Amino acid sequence: MTALHSAYWQSRGKPGAFATPFARAFHREIITSQTGPGRVELLELSAGEQVLGYLYNFEYGDRTYSYQSGFAYGDDNRHRPGLLAHALAIERARSRGMRVYDFLAGDAPYKARLGRELGQMVWCRGQRNRTLLRFERAAHALYDRFRSARSP
């Protein structure tokens, strides 16, 4: 899964979720650990011998949380391995008594096709050091001004 995931994100100029040794070790520990109230679900989508992709989900209570994925995208976009994998995973979750299949943050088109909005995502951040917070706000303001000055 990490190879497929990384190839997709690197083709878009981004490292992906498993780019650092720390991230890989962290996820390896989560996946292999048997402690805690939730569990990890790793699902493979294949057609015969050909692997089309993987889903990396978390389960807790009556919810499945779609965390990461990796798919073998081809030149022909009609097959949509991601849509198919999620549709099958939703059915699997439902058959196992899960009430919610949560796509988590983001507004990717496949999420709108397969689900409905359950609530609003709110991002917040706490900062203890007020001086550091002022510098950060000033940097953001400068960046915004620079970006708007460069826009046509």
Within-domain flag for 8: yes
Q: CATH number for the domain including 96?
A: 3.40.630.30
Classify the C-alpha dihedral 112-97-81-4 as positive or negative.
Answer: positive
- Cα distances (angstroms) measured from residue 111 to each of 47, 83, 97: 23, 9, 21
> Phi, psi at residue 100, to the nearest 5°?
-135, 135
Within-domain flag for 37: yes
How many domains is the chain built from?
1
Q: Which domain holds residue 78?
A: 2-119
Within-domain flag for 108: yes
The pLDDT tens digits for 41-73 are 999 998 899 888 999 999 999 989 988 888 888
- Model confidence pTM above 0.75: no
- As a whole number, mean pLDDT of residues 119-139 equals 72
- Cα distances (angstroms) measured from residue 92 to each of 59, 80, 122: 12, 19, 29
Within-domain flag for 127: no
Within-domain flag for 53: yes
